[in-house]
Amino acid sequence: MKRILLLMILFICTSNFLLAQVTTSSLSGRILDLQNQPLIGASIEAIHMPTNSSYGILTDEEGNFYLSNVRSGGPYKIVVSYIGYKTWEYEGLNLRLGENSVINATLAEDSKLLEEVTVIYEKNALINNQRTGASTNISSKQLSSLPSISRSITDFTRLSPQSQGTSFAGRDGRYNNLQIDGSNFNNNFGLSTNPLPGGGSQPISLDAISEVQVNVAPYDVRQSNFTGAGINAVTRYGTNQLSGSVYGYYRNQNFNGLKVAADTLPTQPDATSRILGARLGGAIIKDKLFFFVNGEFEKMLDQVSLSSLVMDQEQVVMSQELLWQI
C-alpha cells in the first residue's frame, strides 16, 4: 500500500512538472562588473508584484543565469545583488507565455565615488536562438479589449498570421492541439471541423483565460501532438488585490447580415443566445494563498429551418434511383 501511495505521489509531482514547461515563461541573462568580468554567484530575484511571490537563482561561473517555470504575465520587479556591489533593480517587466525574456545587467562597486551603471532591459529580437518557431501571443489586455462574436478562444487565435479561420498553415482545424493549463481540450471525435470539444461548446469561459499563445511548427520537444497549430492558454489567478467582474451578452439573428454583394440572403430562423457570468479573484492569506472562481451560464434558442429538407419531385426520383443502384 505504501509503495502504491509513493508511486501516485511521484506521478502527480512529475505530471505537474511536465505541464509547467508549456504553461509558464522563463528568464535568462548575464551579470557583469564594470570591467566586463562575470560575477559568480550573483543573486537574481524576480518578484511577481500582484502576488508578491518571488523566484530566485544564482549566476554560474560565466555570470549567466536561467530561471525557468516562471509564471507568465506580470508586472515583475527584477533585483540583482552581489556582495560589495550596488543593487540593480528593474520594474515593469511582463513575461510572455512560453517565451524567454533576457535581462543583462552591469553592477558597480558599492563606493560613493562610483555611480551605478545599468543596462536597459532587452526584449527578444525577431531572430535569435531563444525562439523556437513562428508564434503569436495574445495578452490579457487584448482578450478584454478586442470584440468577440462567439465568446470563443478561436476568435483570438485568428490574430496569428498563419491562421485562416480555425485552420493553420493549411491544415484542418482538427489537427490543432488546444491546451489549457497543460490539459488537452480537443475534438477527438472528429466529425465536425470545429477544433473545440463537445460539438463546438466552449471548454472554458473566455473571461477565465489570462493569456493565449499560438505556435506553428515549433522546434521544441516539449510541444507535440499537432501538425496545424499548438494553442496554449493559461487561466487567470488570484492576487493580493480583490478583483472581479459581472457580464452579460445577448445575440440573435438580427446581428447577421442580410446581403452579400448584390445577393440577398434568405430570412434567418430565430437564433437567440444569452450569456451571463461572473468572476472573482483575491487572496485568502496575503502573499501566500489565493483563489479565483468563474461561472458562466448560456441559454440558446436555435430553430432549424425546414426549407432545406423539402425535396421536389425531381429530387425524389433521383433519390429513389440512387437507392435502387445501391
pLDDT at 77: 94
Which residues face 233 on adjacent strands? 180, 212
Class in CATH terms, 132-236: mainly beta
Whether 267 contacts 293, CB under 8 Å: no
| Domain spans of the chain, in order of start | 2-107, 132-236, 238-326
Q: How many CA atoms lie less than 13 Å away from 204 in the CB half-sphere?
A: 22
**How far is Cα 106 from Cα 90, in angstroms, rounded to an integer?**
12
Cell readout for 108 is 558597480
**Phi, psi of 227, deg, nearest 5:** -120, -5
pLDDT at 67: 92
pLDDT at 16: 43
DSSP 207: G
pTM of the model: 0.64
DSSP, residue by residue, 235-272: E----SS-EEEEEEEEE-GGGS-SEETTEEPPPPPPEE
Cβ within 8 Å of residue 187, ≥6 positions away: 173, 174, 194, 195, 196, 197
pLDDT at 20: 41
Which superfamily does 2-107 belong to?
Answer: Carboxypeptidase-like, regulatory domain (2.60.40.1120)
Task: Encode the chain (326 residues) as per-residue pLDDT tens digits.
Answer: 556 666 665 555 544 444 444 678 999 999 999 999 999 999 999 999 999 888 999 999 999 999 988 988 889 999 999 988 999 999 999 998 888 999 999 999 876 544 555 555 455 544 455 566 778 888 888 888 888 877 888 888 888 888 887 888 888 878 888 888 888 888 777 666 666 776 566 778 889 999 998 988 887 777 777 888 888 899 998 999 999 999 998 888 887 777 777 777 777 777 888 889 999 999 999 988 999 999 998 888 765 554 445 555 666 566 666 555 55
pLDDT at 230: 87
